[in-house]
Structure 1
Amino acid sequence: MHAAVVRDWATPPRYEVFADPTALGEHEEVVEVLASGLHPRVRSQAAGSHYTSTDTLPLIPGIDGVGRRADGTLVYFVLPDTNLGALAEQTVVDARRLVTLPASSDPVLLAAAMNPAMSSWIALRDRLSFTAGESVLIMGATGSAGQLAVQVAKHLGAGEIVVAGRGQARLDLLRALGADRTIDLAGPLEQVAADYAARAAEVDVVLDYLWGPPTELALPALLQARRDRGRLLSWIEIGSVAGPDIALPSAALRQANVHFLGSGQGSASTAGILASLPALVEELSRGSFVIDAVTRPLRDVEAVWGERSQSSGERIVLVP
């Protein structure tokens, strides 16, 4: 078969011939891959920099996708940690990690949307007890996952949605998706901190796709401006686009009732994630959420790897 293959962590995957996969385990089967998203998580996997990465090469990256089983059934699949990923004509899946799709499903749409939508879907439905009417701040809202987070929060009944990202024009576009207030992170730091205090201090939940310096700036600005610091603020760390670490002053944990938790592979159980996916598939199939999916042939993977940034809200889908 043909696949995108990583043989050196320092170079992009290359399209080449690779041995056909073989199902060996009790629940394993080979599926034909129809579409797989080029998510940030896939890029870090291919670079060997994700926290689940090992030093084992060669590697076919790709963590999920839409495929066809031997009986013709369409499925969405989530792969375990494996070196035989989804950026290939075929891959090995665990039948317990499949979601059966309607025959009319759009493979490209679901391959593009499931992973980024899952981040906020799982965070708000499973990682805490989110209640309709609560307000949400989305940090990193202009990317594809952030744009879907706006829609998911709105769908789940958020009372007010504040979005933070770089570029006022791009932030303004999020109002059509449900955003109520905006914070442009491209401004002077003093102004950004003041905007956090004025526009987001009273939120109930933060969905943080950025971490790093933006979080270091936002955290004290939010906590110090809250009228009632004893009211719970749930801060959910989902991504680290802006940096893997923050300096957290001890006072931040004493001066306000803030609860930090993560949402990602490991912090949410595989069984719990899979149990939440059929409902998400249903909403995506119904057209409840929109995403800008860009289809590219798998054979162009090496060129695609270097030519596009996904910060614009596009999600590239590679099709064998």
Structure 2
Amino acid sequence: MHAAVVRSFDEPPRFDAFPTPVASGEYEVLVDVLAAGLHPRVRSGADGGHYTSDGTLPLIPGIDGVGRTPDGELLYFVAQDTALGTMAEKAVVDRRRALALPDGTDPVAVAAAMNPGMSSWVALRRRVSLRPGGSVLVMGATGNAGRLAVQIAGHLGAARVIGAGRDAGRLAALKDLGADEVVSLDGDDEDVARRLGQAAGDVDVVIDYLWGRPAQQAMPALLTARTDRSAALFWVQIGSMAGQDITLPSFLLRAGNLNILGSGQGSVTTAGIVAELPSLVEKIASGTLAVDPVTIPLRQVEQAWVTRPTSDRRIVLVP
């Protein structure tokens, strides 16, 4: 078969011949891959930078995809924990990590949206309990995952959703996706803190795709503006687009009921993630969640690797 193959962490994957994997386990089936998303997690795995990387080479990148079985069944699947990912003509699927898709489902839409959508869906279903009528602030709401998080928070019962980001045009567009208010993260620290405090001082949950400086700005701003500082504020760290580290003053943990936790591989079991897939895929397959992917042929994987679409779109590799 042909696949995107990583032979060096210093170079992008190349379209190359690779031995076809063999389905051998009780629950395994070999599928024809129809679509695989180029998620930020895939990039970090391909350059060896992800915290789960063990340095194995060569490897095929890709953490999930949509494929068709020899019997014609359409599956969304999460890759097994090996160096053989989903960006290939064929992949071995563990049926325990897969979900049958309804006839007529768009494989590209599912491949584009499941991973970024899963980040907030799992966070709000498995890591925190979003009370009915609660409120959510999405930090990094103008990116692909952030746009989906705005929509998902509303679908999961949030009565008020605030989106925060830098791009003014994309911020304004969030109103059409269900955001009740938007906050610009552009400007000096004092102005940003004031805007965040006014808009989101009393939120219940923060979904954070940014970390870094924006998180440092927002944490004291929200706690200072909070009507009741003893009311729990759950800060769910998912991405680090703005920086890997923050400085966290100790007084923030004493001056308010701030609960910082993460959501990702390790903090949620694979079984727990898979259990959440059916309800999320239904939202995607039905068109309830707005998805706007960019498709690139698998043979052009090197071009895909250097293509940087707008952050609110996701590249999907197809045969």
Same fold (TM over 0.5): yes
Could you tell me which residue of structure 2 aligns to residue 253 of structure 1? Answer: 253
Matches within 5 A, 1:59-208: 59-208=59-208
Identity of aligned residues (%): 59
Compute the displacement of 1:99 (Å). 0.3
Deviations 1:194-232 (A, max 9, x none): 111111111110000111111111111111111110001
C-alpha deviations, 1:272-315, integer Å up to 9, x for none?
Answer: 1111111111121121101111111011110111121452x001
Q: Distance in 2 between matches of 1:47 and 1:221?
A: 36
Name 2:315's counterpart in structure 1.
316
Deviations 1:31-53 (A, max 9, x none): 11000000111011111111111
Map of 1:45 onto structure 2: 45
Distance 1:185 1:292 in 2: 24
Q: Distance in 1 between matches of 2:278 and 2:69?
A: 18
Shift of 1:82: 1.6
Q: Is the 8 A contact 2:23 2:29 kept in 1?
A: yes
Other structure's SS at 1:113 match: helix
The letter of the residue matching 1:271 is: A
Q: Which runs of 5+ in 2 are unaligned?
A: none
Contact 1:136-1:205 at 8 Å conserved across structures: yes
Measure the CA separation in 2 of the matches of 1:161 and 1:129. 15
- 2:49 aligned partner, one-letter code: S
The one-letter code matched in structure 2 to 1:316 is I
**Equivalents in 2 of 1:202, 1:26: separation in Å?**
50
Name the residue aligned to 1:32.
32
Deviation at 1:186, TM superposition (A): 2.2
Q: Deviations over 1:152-195 (max 9, x none)?
A: 01111211111111121210000000111111112222211111
Pairwise CA distance, 1:2: 0.8
Q: What is the TM-score normalised by the length of structure 2? A: 0.97
Residue of structure 2 in register with 1:281 after alignment: 281
- Indicate how the Cα distance of structure 1 residues 268 and 223 shifts in structure 2: closer, same or farther if over 3 A, else same: same
* Superposition TM-score, scaled by structure 1 size: 0.97
Q: CA separation in 2, counterparts of 1:304 and 1:189?
A: 36
In structure 2, the partner of 1:297 is: 297
Q: Which string of whole-angstrom CA distances, capped at 9 and with x for unpartnered residues, describes residues 88-135 of structure 1?
A: 001112111010111211100100111111111111112111122101
Distance in 1 (alpha carbons) for counterparts of 2:29 and 2:51: 27
SS in 2 for 1:67: strand
Determine whether 1:8 maps to 2:22: no
Query: Could you give the per-residue CA deviations for residues 225-250 of structure 1, whole angstroms, max 9, x where no partner exists?
Result: 11110001011111111111211111
Query: Are the counterparts in 1 of residues 130 and 157 from structure 2 also a CA contact under 8 Å?
Result: no
What one-letter code is carried by the residue in structure 1 that aligns with 2:196?
Y
Q: CA contact under 8 A between 1:52 and 1:81: conserved in structure 2?
A: no
1:162 maps to amino acid? I
Separation in structure 2 between the aligned mates of residue 57 and residue 133 of structure 1, nearest angstrom: 48
Count of equivalent residues: 319
Moved more, 229-238 or 182-191: 182-191
Equivalent position amino acid for 1:258 in 2: L
CA distance in 1, matches of 2:299, 2:142: 29
Letter in 2 for 1:252: L
Rounded Cα–Cα distance in structure 1 between residues aligned with 2:248 and 2:81 = 31
Deviation for aligned residue 1:80:
2.6
State the alpha-carbon separation in 1 of the partners of residues 255 and 309 from structure 2. 39
Question: Mean alpha-carbon deviation: is it higher for 138-147 or for 184-193?
Answer: 184-193
